[in-house]
Amino acid sequence: MTDVIARRAELAENLARVEERIADACAAAGRGRDEVTLIVVTKTYPAADVRLLAELGVRHVAENRDQEAAAKAAECADIPLTWHFVGQLQTNKARSVASYADVVHSVDRPRLVNALSGAARSHGRELDCLVQVALDAESEAAGGRGGAAPESVATVADAIDAAQGLRLAGVMTVAPLTGPYAGRPASAFDRLREISTGLCTRHPAATMVSAGMSSDLEEAVAAGATHVRVGSAVLGERPRLG
């Protein structure tokens, strides 16, 4: 029991620190605190932590692997949470992800749109979808992290918009580790914001901009992110996976 109490205190303290960083970043950017939603990325941490986070007021959680996410969402089915899926997604996992996710941030190709649409309809659910943009694809192939090249965003967005069971909600990116934006998250997020503005001229409701993690949430808020995805700054450094 004392372990649970200690963990609760640790999460509360980390959350307070992240909350302060977001509030400061909003103030510095002349934005209202209510313009930015915190999504806590709980990957590799147990459902017990999700429960504590919910008790501490967290309403949005994210996962990046279907198997882990499905089990955790099932264990936490009694908690009012919005589940975000932020990992690279194979079409054969679409059916599972569509059963528990409310928002999928990593939609990057028409084939995946088709798979998610079929899955959402068969579960009788509506999924919010973001087009994941690979900014390192501007100079070279996108490496292993997924995402559509900037010139493909409109195609993927139009496919989502036309698909039954899916709603086009906006765009997402991860600050690139390679290419022209490596080490320049502020420039990467400015570019994402430009892409978002372009998308909104065609799809005015697709206003969500998902950007910024533990190390670069300030840059993301400055560039207009509406959602930040924060893992280690809340839950602690993750043990490195193989």
* 84 part of the interface to ligand PLP, by CB under 6 A: no
133 contacts ligand PLP (rule: CB under 6 A): no
The Cα 238–Cα 63 span in angstroms is: 13
* 86 part of the interface to ligand PLP, by CB under 6 A: yes
64 binds ligand PLP (CB under 6 A): yes
Stretch that binds ligand PLP, among 72-80, 110-118, 188-196, 225-233 (CB under 6 A): 225-233
* Residue 127 sits in the site that holds ligand PLP (CB under 6 A): no
* DSSP states of 121-185: HHHT--EEEEEEE-GGGGTS--TTS--B-GGGHHHHHHHHHHSTTEEEEEEEE---SSSTTTT-H
CB of 42 or CB of 196, closer to ligand PLP: 42
Tell whether residue 44 is a contact of ligand PLP (CB under 6 A): no
Task: Work out which of 14, 42, 214, 226 binds ligand PLP, going by CB under 6 A.
Answer: 214
One residue of 15, 50, 171, 213 binding ligand PLP per CB under 6 A: 213
Contact 104, 117 (CB under 8 A): no
Render 188-220 in DSSP notation, one character per residue: HHHHHHHHHHHHHHH-TT--EEE---TTTHHHH
Among 96, 99, 114, 232, binds ligand PLP (CB under 6 A): 232
